[in-house]
């Protein structure tokens, strides 16, 4: 990708973002946050996450 194409793409992206209403930007941001995997899963994988979840579940009982 040439520099000119990249600048054009970035400009279009910024303008598209700026043209959205504030409520829509906030809604998209919260949806993206909720769709993300939890901290434990993202950083350490599935096994530590399961272990953490089991310990947490046992403490509640």
Delimit the domains of the chain by residue range.
Answer: 3-60
Q: What is the pLDDT of residue 61?
A: 60
Alpha-carbon gap, residue 18 to 35, rounded angstroms: 23
Q: What is the pLDDT of residue 52?
A: 84
Q: What is the pLDDT of residue 39?
A: 78
Retrieve residue 38's tokens. 């939890």
Residues 6+ apart with CB under 8 A from 25: 17
Q: What is the pLDDT of residue 47?
A: 84
Q: What is the pLDDT of residue 16?
A: 93
Retrieve residue 5's tokens. 């194409």
> Which residues does the chain have with pLDDT short of 50?
none
Q: What is the pLDDT of residue 60?
A: 74
Length of the chain equals: 61
């Amino acid at each position: 990708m040439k520099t000119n194409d990249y600048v054009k793409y970035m400009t279009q992206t910024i303008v598209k973002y700026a043209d959205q209403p504030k409520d829509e930007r906030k809604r998209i941001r919260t949806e993206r946050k909720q769709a993300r995997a939890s901290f434990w899963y993202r950083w350490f994988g599935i096994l530590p996450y399961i272990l953490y979840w089991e310990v947490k579940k046992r403490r509640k009982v």
